Chain A
Amino acid sequence: EPEVTQTPSHQVTQMGQEVILRCVPISNHLYFYWYRQILGQKVEFLVSFYNNEISEKSEIFDDQFSVERPDGSNFTLKIRSTKLEDSAMYFCASSEAGRGVNTEAFFGQGTRLTVV
């Protein structure tokens, strides 16, 4: 069964360093998302991406964050200068459609980011 894959599963980084979280969405999906879950808190939307541009972003997604689809398969989230409060589980998701049917999002296993 097709699935969204994320790498790495765990990432430890020093405060101020740049990190790139990688995702391979399901191959025929066109809409891509990043969410995060700080330990003990709810899952929060970060950004959605379609047709090589951001469709929507939350207030969390400030200038420190960027997304890219560098090739036909990968979807990345970059955090330029990590802060302690960026520590969280980051989930990538994709959906076949953005409107109407088949809009359900399929999530990856997540990348646990720890900023020290």
Chain B
Amino acid sequence: AQSVTQLDSHVSVSEGTPVLLRCNYSSSYSPSLFWYVQHPNKGLQLLLKYTSAATLVKGINGFEAEFKKSETSFHLTKPSAHMSDAAEYFCVVRHTGTASKLTFGTGTRLQVTL
């Protein structure tokens, strides 16, 4: 079965400092992995995706993630946090098969302070 584990339920950083949101996956196959962001009272927005092409994936708003098979990780990073980055972030794995479901991690709430 495919699953993801987000290691931190809450991360707090100062504006201008790097962001690291951790995610580990479990998959029998080469997975498709995604990061989604949910701002307060908003829907789920796709940040970036990994689908077995380049292992370093660049997304929107300066975020990127690196797929590391040896560590079964797909951590989300950003060099410099902005106040507008404060939100809930979800690591997501797509199951194999057609019209396959997504399994979400439990989410990491990112707080950005001045």
Residues of A within 8 A of B (CB): 4, 31, 33, 35, 42-45, 48-50, 55-56, 58, 91, 93, 95, 98-99, 101, 103-110
Contacts and interface: CB of A to CB of B under 8 A. Distances in A.
Interface size class of B (residues with CB under 8 A): 20 to 34
A104 B99 contact: no
B100 A56 contact: yes
Nearest to B46: A104
A91 B101 contact: no
Nearest to A45: B101
B107 A42 contact: yes
Contact of A99 (B34, B45, B97, B102): B97
Nearest to A57: B101
19 contacts: A35-B102, A43-B90, A45-B103, A50-B99, A55-B98, A56-B100, A58-B101, A91-B44, A93-B44, A98-B100, A99-B100, A101-B51, A104-B34, A104-B46, A106-B46, A107-B43, A107-B46, A110-B43, A110-B44
Nearest to A105: B102
